[in-house]
Structure 1
């Protein structure tokens, strides 16, 4: 798999490594549509014809940092009378530990390469290969979830074998818009697209085992 630095090709800029965080916060299909207008290969960048690269950090990085800071602030500004109880100290210590673990586990930079020239994808963490396989194992999928009132919500997910699922849109009730965006992304990246149903005529299979 070609690497930008070794081959002299451009790599993804630092700011784009955090681009998925904004989508996770705003979680609207409109935000994704705006990103696609500025970069038709979003969330990837086209390194060369038929080769797409995505470098990113997990959003658990900021979540762990936030948890760590909140717990430290609570310890710092709480009076001894409030934190004398062992269960309170245990809760705050647990929060600090979980926050640190999330930060440390999320700090390594992820890199996903779709190489259609070779017909393989390559996923690495901090330069260490995690997996490499044929292109049919990577896909864009529409996932379904529902609340206690029976309302249906859809997520748009980029996933694959041994890949960390990347949520492109968190929750939306607009099925048609989500399907359109999912099909568009899959077509531009030349990936398989799957509907939320296991068996559906809306699947678009471009790569077979």
Structure 2
């Protein structure tokens, strides 16, 4: 059963546009796949909004804004309260002062609003900060990637990241051990946005390539799928 997109999501931006700019901050601490699946049911084009047919827009603030603010406040309290001012008769007030400087820098650099537009009508993407163009290019340079990381015990964790040339990587789903569900969610997002999807392996038949560089006919990272096909068709199939 295919996902249905509410009418208000295809007819411009709702009144809560400002709140949507912070949507990437709420990634969920537990059951991250379920958290993303719910968002996809409410908005099939998450994290973007469909401005018009084949044009998707994402406006957001980096999560380093709240992280920098928190670091600045904590370090400020340490200095004001005299905590950690001296450790074994050594002056240590410079450490929270340095933390304040780092926090302030994170805040200032994250305040400008980011805007990413996927314009399939023109076959181009456009990224700007505070209305000033940072980069733009063909659609094959924007993609969803399944990233892999592991802990000290050898356990593998996956996360979905929206990447692109000169774009700030945007985490769509935090770490999860469920590879199949993460792959399904990543494929679904890439299909709805009509962009490329890449598996965590450099060479894999699980890559989904929709856009190629001009004149390209083959990429060594693409392994032809033999007989297997991807059969899942809906976020509602997720059993999480």
C-alpha root-mean-square deviation of aligned residues, in Å?
1.6
Q: In 2, Cα distance between the equivalents of 1:95 and 1:173?
A: 33
The TM-score, its normalising length taken from structure 2, stands at: 0.79
What does residue range 1-209 of structure 1 map to in structure 2 within 5 Å? 10=13, 13-23=17-27, 28-78=32-82, 82-84=84-86, 87-209=91-213
Contact 1:27–1:170 (CA<8 Å) still a contact in 2?
no
Q: What number of residue pairs does the alignment pair up? A: 199
Which deviates more, 23-32 or 60-69?
A: 23-32
The TM-score, its normalising length taken from structure 1, stands at: 0.91
- After TM superposition, give the deviation of residue 68 of structure 1 in Å: 0.3
Extract structure 1 runs of 4+ deviating beyond 3 A: 9-12, 24-27, 84-87
Contact 1:67–1:96 (CA<8 Å) still a contact in 2?
yes
Q: In proportion to residue count, which structure has more helix? A: 1
User: Could you give the per-residue CA deviations for residues 27-59 of structure 1, whole angstroms, max 9, x where no partner exists?
Assistant: 711111110000000000000000000000000
Question: Would the alpha carbon gap of residues 17 and 27 (structure 1) be closer, same or farther in structure 2, given more than 3 Å must change?
Answer: farther
User: Could you give the per-residue CA deviations for residues 124-183 of structure 1, whole angstroms, max 9, x where no partner exists?
Assistant: 000010000000000001011111111110010000000000001110000000000000
- After TM superposition, give the deviation of residue 24 of structure 1 in Å: 6.3
Question: Would the alpha carbon gap of residues 132 and 26 (structure 1) be closer, same or farther in structure 2, given more than 3 Å must change?
Answer: farther
Determine helix, strand or coil for the equivalent of 1:129. Answer: strand
- After TM superposition, give the deviation of residue 13 of structure 1 in Å: 0.4
User: Could you give the per-residue CA deviations for residues 9-29 of structure 1, whole angstroms, max 9, x where no partner exists?
Assistant: 648800000000011655711
Structure number with larger C-alpha Rg: 2
Unaligned runs of 5+ in 1: 1-8
